[in-house]
Amino acid sequence: MKKIYIVFMFGFIFCVTACSDFIDDKPISTLSTNLYWKTTGDISSARAAMYKSFADAMNSNYFRWGELRGGTWEEAHDGQGIQELVDHAITETNSACNWSDLYKTINKANLIIKHVPGMFGVDAGIQQKAIGEAFGMRALSYFYCVRVWGAVPLFTEAVEYYDKSLMKPRTSADSILVQIESDLKRALEFLPAMSSSDNTRYYMTQLGVYAVMMDVYAWEHKYQQVVDLWEKNLNVMPSNIFAFKDYVSTEITPENITKWRSAFMDGTNDKELALTVKYDYATDGTYNSTKSFFWHSGMQCMITAKTIALFDQNKDIRYLGTVRPQNDDIKPYKLEKFYDWGFCDGSAHEGDYSDNDLIMYRYTDLMLLYAEALNQVGRNSDAISYVNKVRLRAGLDALPSTLSQQEIANAILDERHLELIGEGKYWFDLVRTGNASLVGCPAGKILFPIHRDHLNQNPNLTQN
Amino acid sequence: MKKLFNLNAYSVKLVAVGILVLLPWTAIMAQNAVYRGLIVDDSREPLVGATVQVKGSSQGAVTDLDGKFIIGKMKPTATLVISYMGYDTKEVSVKNGDNLTIVLRSSTSVLNDVVVIGYGSIKKRDLTGSVSTINAKAIAERNPTNIFDALQGSSSGVQIISDSGTPGGDAYIRIRGTSTFGSGTTPLYVVDGVPTTSISFINPNDILSMEVMKDAASAAIYGSRSANGVIIITTKKGAKGKPQLNVQYEHSFNTLSHCIEQSTPVDWRYYLNTRYALTGLSKYLEIDSLKPFYNYDGNQKDLLFRTAAKDKLDLSFGGASDNISYYLSAGIYNEQGIVVKSNFKRYSLNFNGSYKPYKRFTIGTKIGLTYSDRKGINEGDVTANFYNWMPSWSPFDVNGNPMHNIGGKNSTYSVANLENHQYRNFYTNALIWSEYKFNKYLTLRSNLSGTYNTEKQYYFRPLSLGSKNDKATGRDVTLLNYNFLNENYLTYNHTIGDHQFTVMGGNSVQKWYYEHARLMGSEYTTDYIQTLNQATVFLASDNYSIKEVHSLASFFARATYNWKSRYIFALNIRYDGSSRFAEGNRWGAFPSTSAGWRLSDEPFMKWAKPALNDAKIRLSYGVTGNEDVGNYLSWATYQSNGIYDGVGGMTPGLTSSSLGWESTSQYDAGIDLNFLNDRLILSFDYYKKNTSDLLYETEVPKETGYNTVTQNVGAMENNGVEFSIKMNILKLKDWNWDLDFNISHNVSRIKTLADGVPFYTGRDGCVYVQENHKIGEFYGWKHNGIFAYDESNAFDDKWQQLTPVFENGKFSHYTLNGQTYTGDVNQKKRNGIVLKGGDVNWLDNPNGENMGVIEDDDRVFLGCAQPSAYGGLNSNLTWKSLSLYISFFYSLGGKFYDYQRYQRNRQSLDWTCPEPSVIDNMWVSQGDNAIYPTPDNRRKNLNSNLSPCDYWIEDGSFIKLRNVKLTYSLPTSICNSIGLNNILVYCYGNNLLTWTKYKGFDPEFGGDVLAFGIDTGRYPRKREIGLGINVGF
């Protein structure tokens, strides 16, 4: 009996004394912050998280931001929230109004910019590259913000702990653009020069930074800087890295069409490409979800007959490279360019996840921007020659050299339209060149509204 | 010992006084002793301080610490009158001899019922907190599947809404309202001393009693887990006497209790035709089609729902002698769901035994094993979808084989039949306890318990179900949770004359381990093998395993004192440390105090005694806590999330640097009145709960790069009143009728929010959470009819609607209040589009900006989901061996957002069939005085697609006839003649009738903490009719 009593008392005392240690449980399956930012592995995973956020942003909005308002599209029978984009009557709950993923990219870039420079004992080259990429991705994300919403809140410091000073008002679009330019310049300081072996385009490289920079300058109508950037930086890239793909024949055959589509279909390392976003179902579990816009069942949008009519179907190899006419009265045209729809009934490969990367910038896009700038700085004939390079490659006739500056500007815009269908460009082209009214957009409706949730969560924001 | 006494200086004095007064006196008496005796209670425990009086004289004695008394010389014919508080007074003649053992029976008054409280028990008479008790008999009357069925409507202040009708489903339980935002809302369950948060493993047949601790004074002894109330469950033990074997079997038939009206193929064709015409498209092919596929005339409902069977078998065997007690039970429960393929099975085994090897030492063990297997359904694709299925479309092809996917939409019939959602649970709990009695007063109790729980979740969606873009996918999820508990506490119990006091103190440590592993794959090689060895694609981002640990260390103490049960005081304190909070904020103290005053025992209330046999006023105050948040939220961590180019990304989580306790302080004032020897018992409680430092996962501005952060964000309050009445209406030789009724009213209100910023939550942000408002308020757009003509969208400068006047079919002019109107005409717009005929005339909030533009700030209050009253009515009528039990359950005054109706009628998709009343009353042409807007697909974002709006806010009040049970108990003589103890046969019906205006399946469904009352088309509820038999050997 006494023994039982003693055992009891011991147990009691033991439990009483050990309590503070007893409740000290540390995370097992997550990493506390003070253990992160130590190794090159940490740099890689931080970069991957940043790119993944950007890939998420593009996956949901690449079409919605840059394409759907461009007059090329109409809502297909089952479209969801697409018609309001086409009609420029966007409600504040449309998913296109959500900026979460862009700001996730920005914060992850900010974390890299904050933590990586202070890391010890890691390869300086890897460190520099990551910082450069972070500046580049931050600039690209803000550039989307500016084009979509105009003024947006500006975050250049990493957010790690929460406090209410994080409810920032919007910063003017001009100030954001100043930040973007400065970020792009800093990116160039950190990123290594392009080497001929470095041909991955789904990371931010000097080539990518130049591409973004050119687009930014064009957006700001700084045409001379666009011209200079092309001539001094982009046009001097080694031709195995970045070059205009010239095809031998323009005869419209399946083989030639496949060749024309090669940059879109299989070319993560294609020399036509400057910057892409990677999707890979097998390794990353991600896929290019823009394909789902065109599934036959549940098709969300389709190319308008008006756009189809712009193609010279007898000559332009891009027609069948871009469009797949379907034997369907209700849904006649779907986008062919990026997707492997198969060649039988148009549905054999419909369900396959698309691994095709989304193209941010490619040679022809930038060359046409260059042509646009040339035209604006008065070098009209040079401008025509670059447009003609694109036309001839597509199988069309060259433009006459007698066109006026305005006619050339229109021709460039038309060429960009046909060349870049589905690449998230044309709506921004219309806005940049002041032509948004051509597709029925009223003057006050060019910017997207800010999503209702954002306004609710931050009372310092004002709606567009 | 010394340390214990230091805890309460007051009780030390009392002991001293008691010893000084009592001991010399008994010593003097002993010198002249001639008559001795021992007074014990039913369980042979000595009664200390019982009064022994010689009848008709002033001679008397009081029993000593061993229950013994000695009395001086007296007549041999004298009679002793023995009385003790709470026991029937007994008269004993001395001629029966010396040295008698006299057994006092506890009085039958309900006031002597023992109520189990945390770390002890107390007589109902001495209870100062607010506690509801449900005993085994009341549980049995309801034929419950789980404890929620047993509790629903049975006691005031406890709101139970079963989550859905799915067999084996959970319930939403709120004790005195919601007192938290994001952390757990379920009460703490304490099963035979072991705290747990999940209760699905328990077979209600094994329960002896349930005690619901509602106020802080009762619950706070469980400190940081008590804010949502505590339910103490005591399971059955072997009763003294011969071994008893009991067998119970019941069988029931279940059918869908209420179905939603569906449109006919004719309605559907008309709708689609009209929609196409108004949208400006040519007719859809189906309209003209002669294909059998488009001409189905079967009933979709009959394909999905069935008459389902339920079987339940319970066996128990138990008994006890002086040193040993044992109880074994086994239960089999097998329920088919009313939706095809769904079912629930539960097998449970229990052993509860104790052994007393020494006089002072008892050791006991309890082992419970439960296995359950639940097959659920995909509610989103089946119950939320079946009624909007295109009624003329066949789910079968011409050969009668199911068509799994039609036009990109899955057939609800096929989804229900082919998808596999299986949840299997393996639950084991073992408890070893021991009790050592140092002496009459001091007892040490130790509990050692381990619980092991594995849940396996299987999911499989076959390829044949998918459209072209789908793959066969499957999941195999393992959730492994186990925890260990050690609790030790000393109880000191002493009665000296009219003074009774108890001191209890102890400690508790508990540690939980969680392991969560998910295997997920796709592209199975065949639909026939559904395990993951046949999957060919495994994505790194879908497969993971996680481990977590959580610990809680506690000290607790209680002191109670009462004088003659007239003045009662209690004091509790618990000091808890949780691993979940930031260092520095880990420990928290949770004190509580309560007092009771038995008014009826005061001399000045003597006059009322004949009618009012007992009256007690209770007051309590205490602080309870809530630590039910994620295990590592106070740590800034990086976790893997997303892969890019084969490299796994690490994403930071946003952390609040000072995460701490959420605490609730609660005041309670109550009165209990027992009239006419307990034949009428009234009980009334008022309470006020203030919760501060609410733990809530708040949405942060997305510009920060994060979605949410968990922080201590604000305060809320609950105010309520509870009333219950128990009546014994008939008490005759053959008749007995008990009736009880309870009603509760509670208002949960938000006092402060993080930075005062209101926010929207719930589906489409339909719930608006703002300071100084109730929780559960729906905000959305209100409407005032449909514009009959394009010209009807016309308003004057004060936004009064103008009436268009037509002459010869052409618009001529406007009138306002009968007068011709010639001023400016304003029109309402949404999304920059002018509304026209067939569009909804949305109300423009006069306090909002931009008059005439229907936008976000035009959302107004539409109703609140909190009911204004809820409760139950239970009646038990007995005539000889027949008894009839009836119970009602009601909830009045809450509004619901009928989200499934919105989904069905929003007209956003072609392949969704609206309900018949919408098709009948939609706007079709100019001049229609419609109720619902035009089906024109191009106008949907201006009209039917707007969510939330007042179209789908409905009254959720209901009264349910919850149970009816008729029992016949066979006469004992017949039973005995066939060698049995007793036989009960019964038939019963559950969920027989519902009175409601609500248009969904059922007005009873679960919800989130803040966003409740939102009906997403849950598994509908069954109506059950069954028969049963209970045989005791």
| Residue B1007 · residue B185 · CB < 8 Å | no
d(CA A327, CA A348): 15
Contact across the interface for A166 and B470, Cβ inside 8 Å: no
Q: How far apart are CA B495 and CA B65, in angstroms?
A: 9
Tens digits of residue pLDDT in A407-434: 999 999 999 999 999 999 999 999 999 9
Element (H, E) at B274: helix B265-279
**Nearest Cα to B678, choosing from B111, B130, B107?**
B111
**How far away is chain A from the Cα of B50, in angstroms, using its nearest Cα?**
31
User: A22 to chain B: nearest residue by CA?
Assistant: B551
Residue B747, classed as helix, strand or coil, is: strand
A37 CB near a chain B CB, below 8 Å? no
Q: Extract the tokens encoding A240.
A: 């195995």
Q: Which residue has the tokens 């009165």?
A: B671
Residues on chain B touching A300 (C-beta within 8 angstroms) = none
| Secondary structure of B164-204 as H, E, C letters | CCCCCCCEEEEECCCCCCCCCCCCEEEECCEEECCCCCCCH
- Chain B nearest-CA distance from A32, in A, is 4
pLDDT per position as a tens digit, A146-199: 999 999 999 999 998 888 788 999 999 999 999 999 999 999 999 998 887 776
**Beta carbons of B858 and B727 less than 8 angstroms apart:** no
| Contact at CB, A278 and B644, closer than 8 angstroms | yes
Distance CA B411, CA B395 (A): 6
pLDDT, position A344: 35
On whether any CB of chain B is under 8 Å from the CB of A99, the answer is yes
Which pLDDT score is estimated for B469? 55
**Which residues in chain B are closer than 8 Å to A202, comparing Cβ atoms?**
645
Which residue out of A52, A86, A293 would a mutagenesis test of the B interface target, given it has the greatest number of B Cβ atoms within 10 Å? Answer: A52
Closest residue to A15, CB basis, from B488, B546, B651:
B488
What's the CA gap between B280 and A136, in Å, rounded? 48
Mutation pick from B544, B650, B829 vs chain A, by most beta carbons of A within 10 Å, is B650
N-terminal to C-terminal alpha carbon distance within chain A: 82
With beta carbons under 8 A apart, name residues in chain A contacting B641: 49, 52
For A:129-168, CB contacts with B below 8 A are 152-153, 155, 159-162, 164, 166-168
Nearest to A84 among B648, B759, B831 (CB): B831
**The pLDDT value given to residue A451:** 93
What are the beta bridge partners of residue B771? none
CA B948 to chain A, closest CA, distance in angstroms equals 12
Q: CA–CA distance from B46 to each of B40, B124, B436, B502 (Å)?
A: 4, 21, 17, 17
For residue B883, the 8-state DSSP code is: E
Tell which residue, B128, B167, B135, B130, has the closest CA to residue B154: B135
Helical ranges in B112-158 per DSSP H: 136-141, 147-151
Q: Which residues of chain B have a CB within 8 Å of the CB of A100? A: 702, 707
Q: Which residues of chain A lie closer than 8 angstroms to B856, CB-CB?
A: 92, 452, 455
Q: Which residue has the higher pLDDT, B407 or A261?
A: A261
Instruction: Name residues of chain B where pLDDT drops below 70.
Output: 1-34, 85-86, 96-97, 107-109, 183, 282-290, 407-408, 466-470, 910
Q: What is the distance between the alpha carbons of residues B453 and B711, in angstroms, rounded to a whole number?
A: 30
Task: Give the pLDDT score at B25.
Answer: 40
Q: Which residues 916-975 of chain B have a CB within 8 Å of chain A? A: 938, 941
Interacting residues of B593 by C-beta distance below 8 A, sequence separation 6+:
B217, B569, B570, B571, B572, B620, B621, B622
CB contacts, 8 Å: A268 with chain B:
none
The torsion angle over the Cα atoms of residues B1005, B1009, B1011 and B1015, rounded to 10 degrees, is: -10
**How many interface pairs between A and B have CB atoms less than 8 angstroms apart?**
268
Contact B298, B234 (CB under 8 A): no
Are the beta carbons of B703 and A168 separated by less than 8 Å? yes
Q: Which of A232, A131, A105, A235 is CA-nearest to residue A183?
A: A131
Contact across the interface for B657 and A161, Cβ inside 8 Å: yes
Mutate which of A156, A357, A456 to test chain B, going by most B C-beta atoms within 10 A? A456
A13 touches chain B (CB under 8 A): no
CA distance B943 to B936: 10
- Determine whether the interchain pair B647/A48 forms a contact, defined as Cβ–Cβ distance below 8 Å: yes
DSSP 8-state secondary structure symbol assigned to residue B890: E
The two tokens of residue A378 are 């008065």
Core vs surface per residue A413-442: b (16+ CB within 10 A) or e: bebbbbbbbbbbbbbbbbbbbeebeebebe
Asked if A45's CB is within 8 angstroms of B551's CB, the reply is no
Question: Which of B704, B709, B830, B903 to mutate to test binding with chain A, by most A CBs within 10 Å of its CB?
Answer: B704
State the best of A17, A91, A269 to mutate against chain B, taking most chain B CBs within 10 Å.
A91
> Angle at CA B738, nearest 5°, toward B961 and B237?
90
d(CA B605, CA B254): 54
- B285/chain A closest Cα distance in angstroms: 11
**How far off is chain A from B578, nearest CA to CA, in Å?**
6
* Contact criterion met (CB below 8 Å) for A38 and A119: yes
With beta carbons less than 8 A apart as the criterion, state whether B828 and B796 touch: no
Interface of A with B in 388-427 (CB under 8 A): none
CA–CA dist B329, B342 (Å, integer): 27
B637 to chain A: closest CA residue = A32
Cβ-contact B422, B457 below 8 angstroms: yes
B542 and A285 in contact by Cβ < 8 A?
Answer: yes
B4 has a chain A CB within 8 A of its CB: no
Nearest CB to B701; choose among A36, A285, A458: A458
Q: Could you give the percent of chain A with pLDDT greater than 70?
A: 89
The alpha-carbon gap from A415 to the nearest alpha carbon of chain B, in Å, equals: 32
Locate the DSSP E strands across A118-175. none
Give B992-1015 pLDDT, tens digit per residue. Answer: 999 999 998 899 888 888 889 999
d(Cα B1005, Cα B1014) in Å, to the nearest integer?
Answer: 8
B707 and chain A: CB distance < 8 Å anywhere?
yes
Give chain A positions within 8 Å (CB) of B655: 160-162
Tokens 């996917």 sit on residue: B405
User: Do the chains contact at B643 and A48, CB–CB below 8 Å?
Assistant: yes
| A445 touching chain B per CB within 8 A | yes
* Residues of chain B with C-beta less than 8 angstroms from the C-beta of A90: 831
Set of chain A residues whose Cβ sits within 8 Å of the Cβ of B357: none
Asked if A185 is an interface residue toward chain B (Cβ–Cβ < 8 A), one would say no
Q: Which of A5, A13, A23, A328 to mutate to test the interface with B (most CBs of B within 10 A)?
A: A23
Residue B657 CB: number of other CB atoms within 10 A? 12
Measured CA to CA, the distance from residue B225 to residue B327 in angstroms comes to 30
B723, B683 in Cβ contact below 8 A? Answer: yes
Q: How many CA atoms lie within 13 A of B43 on its CB side?
A: 7
Measure B834 CA to nearest chain A CA, in Å.
Answer: 11
Asked if B771 is an interface residue toward chain A (Cβ–Cβ < 8 A), one would say: no
Cβ contact, residue pair B541, A284, below 8 Å: yes
Q: Is there a contact between B554 and B572 (Cβ–Cβ < 8 Å)?
A: no
Q: Could you tell me which of A139, A166, A137 has the C-alpha nearest to residue A54?
A: A137
